[in-house]
Structure 1
Amino acid sequence: MSDEHAKTPLDHIGDTLVQLKEMRHYAKNNVETLTTAWLLYDGELSKLKQAQRIADLMDRQAQLHEALEQAIAGLEELQEKLKPEPAADA
């Protein structure tokens, strides 16, 4: 097992970025799907006094999406800082 490559902090950041970008993708799709349903059933939900519940969920989902964007941007900056300098040709 000594042949295994130990992950560096840069590797861990890359792995985390992949996961966060996947979460961002699904969060965006969820917001779009919920918004579509909301537009179709807003009148009926309002009559049933359920509209605010769905509006709150949409707001929270949008907040999650924004937080994911910020986390991704921050980790991408850190990833760039941790990348090794290119070797100079001698």
Structure 2
Amino acid sequence: MEAAEVAMSTENKSPLEHVNDALAQLKEMRHYSKNYVEQLTAQWLLFDGELSKLKQTSRIEDLMTRQGELHDALEAEIAELEALAVELQPAPEEGAG
């Protein structure tokens, strides 16, 4: 898709559609973030002793902390956007009948 086509397709989206698109991307990021935190933790547990001997533990601990903070921030933003998506839902139509 060319840039002009992308711009045109996003111009026609409602605010709710934009929020839902952002939510989908953040949820995907959260999924990968969680997996990365788990992988890093598993590696840490395997190599803690060796890394201690090599004086590398503080750098790995810092990465684990930062990964955890990113995951927490993603969770918070997803909750905010989910609340916004509820607010942006169109009101149900009345009097059909």
Instruction: Give TM-score, length-normalised by structure 2.
Output: 0.86
What code does the residue aligned with 1:62 have?
G
Over aligned residues, Cα RMSD in angstroms?
1.5
Partner of 1:12: 18
> Does residue 58 of structure 1 match 2:58?
no
The within-5 A match list for 1:1-90 is: 6-88=12-94, 89-90=96-97
Q: What is the rounded CA distance, in whole Å, between the counterparts of 1:18 and 1:82 in structure 2?
A: 16
SS at match of 1:52: helix
Instruction: Give TM-score, length-normalised by structure 1.
Output: 0.92
Gaps of 5+ in 2: none
% same residue: 59
Q: What is the rounded CA distance, in whole Å, between the counterparts of 1:29 and 1:87 in structure 2?
A: 42
What code does the residue aligned with 1:61 have?
Q
Give 1:87 deviation, angstroms. Answer: 1.4
Give the number of aligned pairs.
88
Give 1:74 deviation, angstroms. Answer: 0.2
SS at match of 2:93: coil
